[in-house]
């Protein structure tokens, strides 16, 4: 015989809603944080590559 557990479905649904909300806030926070940090990281990478090109093209006596 199959046993029915009506409360279990409600609890699974509640857990799924909690998971979706937490995931949304984590991904939203990372997206917002990356919009602030990403331009700074790209500027640092640009400065690094510019210094490397300067060192490679530097005339040696």
Range 12-50 burial, b when 16+ CB lie within 10 A, else e: eeeeeeeeeeeeeeeeeeeeeeeeeeeeeeeeeeeeeee
Report angle CA 45, 49, 53 to the nearest 5 degrees.
Answer: 170
Residue 44 confidence (pLDDT) above 60: yes
Q: Please tell me the predicted confidence (pLDDT) of residue 35.
A: 85
Which pTM value belongs to this model? 0.48
């Amino acid at each position: 015989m199959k046993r029915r557990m009506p409360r279990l479905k409600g609890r699974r649904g509640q857990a799924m809603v909690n998971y979706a909300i937490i995931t949304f806030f984590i991904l939203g926070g990372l997206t917002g944080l990356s919009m602030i940090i990403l331009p700074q990281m790209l500027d640092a990478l640009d400065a690094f590559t510019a210094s490397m090109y300067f060192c490679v093209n530097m005339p040696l006596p």
